[in-house]
Amino acid sequence: MNNIRNSVTSGWHLASNVMSISVIRHYMKTLPAIVFLSVGLLPSAALAQKAATKYPATYAGGSLPLDHHKVQAALGKDEVVFMQGGRRIAVPVKNITDISCGTAVRRRMGAAVLDVVPLMHLGESETRYIGVAWNSAGGVNARAQVLLKLSRGEYRDFLAALEQATGIKAVDTNQVPTVVHYQI
């Protein structure tokens, strides 16, 4: 009797093992399709994320009535919008005359200790800036400007989007030579 019971239970375990193996095989057959679809849809999801063109920045200066705090710079089809709190300042892309970009490198506290690691530059901190100048609606001589401080990723993306929207190549202030005229 025990032999019959053991054979029945072992047969049941075999059936469950066969069933679990068939389920695993089914998942293994559908896995490539799932991976293919996710890889195919992933770039479109990334592009959809890029369509939301809001860039967090810090207002570092300029002629706008904004506080020197966080600001959102959004790039639309025909305008660049600077938002801070309840303020919203829209600048038509066609009015933008100049774009400048640059970095400032400063030494961190304890830089002597951090510079022990060669080629890493751990004792330095780099800040990225983008400046935008435009003719405001007040007339030809009425110019406005803004200077934004951005993180590395937002700096690169916002600068590329701004150059593409305006058709103006940004001037790298770190690469512009300084000319001094002496009067003799």
Distance in angstroms (rounded) separating the CA atoms of residues 112 and 123: 7
> Is residue 81 in some structural domain?
yes
SS3 125: strand
> Is there a single domain that holds both residue 124 and residue 158?
yes
pLDDT digits (tens, 9 = 90+) for 50-92: 444 899 999 998 988 889 889 999 998 889 999 999 899 999 9
Query: What integer pLDDT is reported at residue 17 of this predicted model?
Result: 57
> Is there a single domain that holds both residue 87 and residue 13?
no
Query: What integer pLDDT is reported at residue 52 of this predicted model?
Result: 42
Query: What integer pLDDT is reported at residue 94 of this predicted model?
Result: 92
> Is there a single domain that holds both residue 2 and residue 63?
no
Farthest-apart Cα atoms in the chain, separation: 120
Distance in angstroms (rounded) separating the CA atoms of residues 39 and 31: 12
> Is there a single domain that holds both residue 95 and residue 131?
yes
> Is there a single domain that holds both residue 71 and residue 160?
yes
> Is there a single domain that holds both residue 124 and residue 44?
no
> Is residue 178 in some structural domain?
no
Distance in angstroms (rounded) separating the CA atoms of residues 70 and 165: 23
The CATH number covering residue 112 comes to 2.30.29.30
Low-confidence ranges of the chain (pLDDT < 50): 5-8, 12, 14, 45-52
Q: How far is CA 24 from the centre of its chain?
A: 40
Could you identify the residue written with the tokens 């389920």? 23
Q: Residue 11 sits in which domain range? A: 1-50
> Is there a single domain that holds both residue 42 and residue 61?
no
Query: What integer pLDDT is reported at residue 47 of this predicted model?
Result: 47
Q: Are 108 and 123 in contact (CB under 8 A)?
A: yes
> Is there a single domain that holds both residue 41 and residue 130?
no
> Is there a single domain that holds both residue 152 and residue 140?
yes
Number of domains, the chain: 2
- Residue ranges of the alpha helices (H) in the chain? 2-51, 111-114, 152-166
